[in-house]
Amino acid sequence: MLSKKHYAKPRPFIFNCLLFFFAFALGMFSNPYLQSHRQLFQSFETSFKSSPAPEQNSLMHNMSEEELLWRASFNPLIGHLPSNRIPKVAFLFLTRGDLPLAPFWDEFFKGHDGMYSIYVHPDPAYNGSVPKNSVFFGRRIPSQSARWGQINMIEAERRLIANALLDPANERFVLLSESCIPLYNFTTIYTYLVNSNVSYVGSGYDTGPGGIGRYNPAMAPQITVEQWHKGTQWFEMNRTLAVVVVSDEKYLPLFQKFCLANWNPPCISDEHYIPTFLVASSWRSSTNRSVTYTDWSGGMPHPASFGKDHVTLELFEKIRYSANCTYNGVNTRVCFLFARKFLPDSLDPLMKLGAVLKIFEHTNGSIYHRDA
């Protein structure tokens, strides 16, 4: 039998547990490695409790231009899409600053989440804000200066396309400005674009001084004068063409060297690059028309603008149905899906007329597809 001096009374179980946890906690808070993990856990906890990220951070990234274009140039080799995948239309807004017609677009997009993406490329000096309840909130991408007629305008367009290509669900890409509006409801435009078997790039061979008069023979033999085409910059293209455009390393350097706005005559690169690129690269699956209406009837260097006094039902009827074209091989009078240039003071009458023309409704778009 053990004597009392050799007998140790067992400690209570709860006491042992408390002693263990105390020692563990002391080691965790004193060990630098574990301390870093504790801070990491706290940062996760804080992120869940904090408010949404600021607008300018949502689509921002630190990729260089070279890395961005490289990532965007990836293209799946399997042609068919997964059965559960919903294709999206990417709306690319090339802007100088504010989006005065944003309320019109907000109503247009309402109820169609998951079927579209928005990307905004403003002037890098722009520091305005967008309401959190707007579809444009958080859609700003890293931007650089872009001026009309200069080569940086083409670079901005490619930057928009490249950022949109990072989302594999984007299948159609349409370039717009802050003065553009949709002419039909979302269902109509989405159906028209997603089901189209071609891209839409306005292009033509202009023999005048504003056409081949801007051609520089130093571009030959990669670009000949016969391949030098002109068109509107407001394109719409499918994903395959979008990847080809951002991957171009053959023709863009020629424009950067030999198509400059400060030459005499000035070479307006955004009117020539994509149309000429399509011809020089023998791209076939594109029409020679744009889906964005622009009024050049005034014969001025810049197109007509539409203010509050111009916004009428008659104007919309003229823009919607005054042209004839083909859609997937079928004659139609629905040739334009968007229009420009609408001034900021046109917003109020546009909101009223948009409701009358059912631009904000979710109806079947086929009711608008008039035959030629």
- Tell me the pLDDT tens digit for each residue of 88-101: 999 999 999 999 99
Three-class secondary structure assignment of the chain: CCCHHHCCCCCCHHHHHHHHHHHHHHHHHHCHHHHHHHHHHHHHHHHHHCCCCCHHHCCCCCCCHHHHHHHHCCCCCCCCCCCCCCCEEEEEEECCCCCCCHHHHHHHHCCCCCCEEEEEECCCCCCCCCCCCCCCCCCECCCCCCCCCCHHHHHHHHHHHHHHHCCCCEEEEEEECCCCEECCCHHHHHHHHHCCCCEECCCECCCCCCCHHHCCHHHCCCCCHHHCCECCCCCEEEHHHHHHHHCCCCCHHHHHHHCCCCCCCCCCHHHCHHHHHHHHCCCCCEECCCCEECCCCCCCCCCCCECCCCCCHHHHHHHHHCCCEEECCEEECCCCCEECCECHHHHHHHHHHHHHCCCCCCCCHHHHCCCC
Burial class (CB in 10 A: 0-12, 13-18, 19+), 284: exposed
Residues in Cβ contact with 317 at an 8 Å cutoff, skipping those fewer than 6 apart: none
pLDDT at 74: 83
**Domain-located, residue 24:** no
Task: Give the C-alpha separation, 87 to 228, whole Å.
Answer: 34
pLDDT(300) > 90: no
pLDDT at 98: 94
Task: Give the C-alpha separation, 190 to 195, whole Å.
Answer: 8
**Domain-located, residue 320:** yes
For residue 257, what is the enclosing H or E element? helix 252-258
pLDDT(66) > 90: no
Of the chain, the percentage scoring pLDDT greater than 70 comes to: 81
pLDDT at 31: 42
By the 8 A CB rule, do 124 and 208 touch? no
Mean pLDDT over the full length of the chain: 84
Task: Give the C-alpha separation, 286 to 201, whole Å.
Answer: 7
Task: Give the C-alpha separation, 162 to 73, whole Å.
Answer: 8
Domain residue limits at 248: 55-74+86-368
pLDDT at 257: 95
**Domain-located, residue 28:** no
Task: Give the C-alpha separation, 72 to 13, whole Å.
Answer: 61
**Domain-located, residue 50:** no
Its pTM surpasses 0.85: no
Confidence band, pLDDT 50/70/90 cuts, at residue 84: confident
Pull the structure tokens for residue 328.
């997937």
pLDDT at 370: 53
**Domain-located, residue 80:** no
Strands 199-200 and 286-287: parallel
Tell me the three state secondary structure of residue 172.
Answer: strand
pLDDT at 51: 37
pLDDT(371) > 70: no
Per the model's pLDDT, the better-predicted residue between 186 and 361 turns out to be 186
Q: Among 178, 172, 162, which Cα is nearest to 130's?
A: 178
**Domain-located, residue 355:** yes
pLDDT at 6: 42
User: Hey, how many other C-beta atoms are within 10 angstroms of the C-beta on 311?
Assistant: 22
Task: Give the C-alpha separation, 97 to 273, whole Å.
Answer: 24
pLDDT at 215: 95
**Domain-located, residue 148:** yes
For residue 327, what is the enclosing H or E element? strand 325-327
pLDDT(229) > 80: yes
Q: Total domain count for the chain?
A: 1
